[in-house]
Structures are given as structure tokens and as C-alpha cells.
Structure 1
Amino acid sequence: MSKKNAPTSNNLTVTVRTDTGKGASRRARRDGLVPAVLYGHGTNPEHLNLPARDFAAVLRHSGTNAVLTLDIEGREQLALTKTIEIHPIRRNLVHADLLVVRKGEKVTVEVNVHVEGDAESGTLVTQDANTLEIEAEALSIPEFLTVSVEGLAAGTQITAGSVELPKGSTLISDPETLVVNVVTAPTAADLEAEGGGDEGAEAPAEEAAEDSTEE
């Protein structure tokens, strides 16, 4: 089981957003910017504009838990990408919430789980948990956690507590959370039997409907 760590920093030059509201946000997006709010550590929320293309590239490379090094009009600030909003149709970045972080600080984040490898022949692998919550140092957040099912037999279950985490990270999710389940794959006969059972269940209903019509 391996893991992949995000880069320690992603530099973005941003500007302070003085105009707020939906109209100002729409204008910013038309100009290739992503409206964002930076908050945390007792600081007053700052309204910022991020360069959309550069920010999108960071997210593609480092994932949604990217730690940014912001140049805010000459002032450097580390920030964790807390949430992002994406347009449901156009799929462009609409808004972002950023959390102020400091070197050495630990943060709690949701990390995606990737399953890799092939289990034994005749098995079916189901993934029951797509993410796990962990606590990690802000500059060492993994992009994702990888779980290998290579060669696993039917009946094998992998829980959150057995997923390997990066050094210094702690699992926050319930360690008994089922992540991956390896079961015996259904045979053609099993599927046919299930289909036959459904047809048999429908027959009495159809007969009852016919009897009701005759009455």
C-alpha cells in the first residue's frame, strides 16, 4: 500500500477583492479570476481573486487539499484549499474557501482513496469508502491514499485502520470503517437464478391484476 504526497507549496499571485457580491464575482470570473475567501487563526476574512488557470492547474496536480503559497500584493501567506465550488454545467471554478495555515501545523482533511491491483480470479472488489478523514501536517497532506488488492482472496476486507498513512499522519475516521470488500463474483447461473426469481415474483402480481379486471 503506497501513498502519494502533494507538493509542499504551490505559488499563486493573488489580488485583494474590494468589490463583493454576485455582480462583482461574475465580473471577476469573466476576467479569468476565481473569487475566494481566506480565513482562519482569528484573522478577519479576506476577499481575494485567484488566477483561474493557475489555480485549476494546482488542483489538477495536487488535488483538492492543495496547500498554496499566496503572494497577496507582496505579502506571503500559506493557505489550505478548504472547499471549491464548480459550475454544474460549465465545470469552471466558481468560488473557493481558503484556510490560513502555518508551517508545522496539523490540519484535518478528507483524502480520496484509490484502489489498485487485481484480486484473485473469480472475485469481485467493492469499494465502500471513497474518502478517509485524517490529521496531517499542513505541508505533507497526501494527494490520495492507495489500497492494493493485488492477489487478495474472496472474504478479504480492508478497514480504515489497516490503510497505510504518511508518516506523521493520524487516522480520524473510525478504524473499523470498511474501505474495500473482496467477495466471490456471481456466476452466470447465479445471475440467471436471480432473474428467474424476479420473474416469478412478477407473475402473481400480473395474475392478481387480471383477476381484478375480470371482476
Structure 2
Amino acid sequence: MKIELSAASRKAQGTGASRRLRKSGRVPGIVYGGGEPVLIDLDHNNLYHLLRKEAFHASIMTLDVDGKKEPVLLRDFHMHPFRQQVQHIDFQRVEASKKIHMKVPLHFINADIAPGVKQGKGIVSHVLNELDVACLPADLPEFIEVDLSNLMLNHSIHVSDLKLPQGVEAAGMHAGEAVVATIQVPRGAAEAAAAAEPAA
């Protein structure tokens, strides 16, 4: 998914200036990394709708600041405590030759045909819903698929079992044997079965 958004550079700083921007339908933000930080502001409605898209949180996007385009990543944003209002947003510039660390969403497939569900009457538990990865910007996937088609009852899929795209590696605490998903019998059903055994 190709995402491009426009921003304007701003000079005014401080709480008062930010409050005025928000009242006018703009969101204050900053772009940093790979050069001087630049203060920016963006259209609130457009930004709010983009933030609701999964790809916006794990994609390299093009940011146009006063006509100058550069690739960036979303790094942070703050919402109003109870209004549907974006308060502030941070972007980081991306260099093609430098590895980036990102959280990428996991998409679970084939849960309905997993033996642990179909035959074992188990329920899939998603331990992780996103994965920390390291890769070059060009290799960043929008999501990673987790195929549950062979998962048995009381078994788990680990990060090391995932088929990661070429050039992408698991990073941080999610590397190695971290559990991604498991299939188990619901607690109530397991207790009922255990209670029925002596009677049988």
C-alpha cells in the first residue's frame, strides 16, 4: 500500500501555538533522524483516517513537507484522552541503506482447519499480535502471515517457526522461541471433562 501525505513546516512552538493549530483543524508534529528535526503540521481529518489503517503503522510512507518529499516511518502519536482528536505525531526519516526496527502486525490464517480446533475442539490463543523485526526499508512487510493449518491441540507456534520474508529477521524480545499462538481446550470444558472421568 502506497501512502503519501502532505505537511507544512511551522515555526511557532509551545502549548499556545499547538492549541491554536488544533483549533484550526491541524495537528502539530515533528520529523527527525538523518538531519535536522523539522516542526510540521498536518490536516487532522486526513491523518485521523490514515491512523485507522493498519498499513499506516508499519509502512514506509512519503511525507511531502512544503513540496519536499522524503520517506518516513510513523514513530509515535498522541490522542486526546477522551475526544477523537490526534494531539501530536512523530515521524522518522528513513535511509535506504540502514536497517530499521519496526513492529509488524501478524495475520493469522487457517485457524478453522487446524487439527487442534477441528478435531480437538480447542481454541486458538494469540499470544502475540505483532512482531518486532529488523530489515532494510525496502524489505519491510506490511504484515506477516501465521499459518495455523498444522497446529495440534496443546501445541504452540513459536517465532522460529514463522516464514519471514527475505531480508527480514525477528528482533528484540520476540526473537527465538517466543510463543506466537497456541491451541488449548477452554478451561471450563477441560474441568468438565476431568469431573466426568471418575463418574465414567
- With the length of structure 1 as denominator, give the TM-score of the two structures: 0.76
Q: Structure 2, unaligned stretches of length 5 or more?
A: 196-200
Q: Pick from 8, 12, 29 the counterpart of residue 5 of structure 2.
A: 12
One-letter amino acid matched to 2:33: G
Residue 149 of structure 2 is matched in structure 1 by: 150
Q: Residue 144 of structure 1: CA displacement? A: 2.4
Q: Structure 1, unaligned stretches of length 5 or more?
A: 1-6, 195-215
Q: Residue 102 of structure 1: CA displacement? A: 2.5
Paired-residue identity, % = 27
Q: Which has the higher strand share?
A: 1
> Structure 1 159/95 Cα, relative in aligned 2: closer, same or farther at 3 Å?
same
For this pair of structures, how many residues does the alignment match? 186
Cα deviations by residue, 1:102-146 (Å, 9 ceiling, x for unpaired):
234421111222323223231121122222110123244223222
Give runs of aligned pairs for residues 181-196 of structure 1, distance below 5 A.
Answer: 181-186=182-187, 188=189, 190=191
CA distance in 2, matches of 1:92, 1:167: 38
- With the length of structure 2 as denominator, give the TM-score of the two structures: 0.81
Query: Is the 8 Å Cα contact of residues 14 and 51 (structure 1) preserved in structure 2?
Result: yes
Residue 17 of structure 2 is matched in structure 1 by: 24
Q: Pick from 51, 70, 79 the counterpart of residue 43 of structure 2.
A: 51
| SS class of match (2:176) | coil
Give runs of aligned pairs for residues 84-99 of structure 1, distance below 5 A.
Answer: 84-99=77-92
> Structure 1 30/68 Cα, relative in aligned 2: closer, same or farther at 3 Å?
farther
Higher relative contact order structure (alpha carbons within 8 Å, sequence separation ≥ 6): 1
Residue 177 of structure 1 is matched in structure 2 by: 178
Structure showing greater radius of gyration is 1
CA distance in 1, matches of 2:108, 2:190: 29
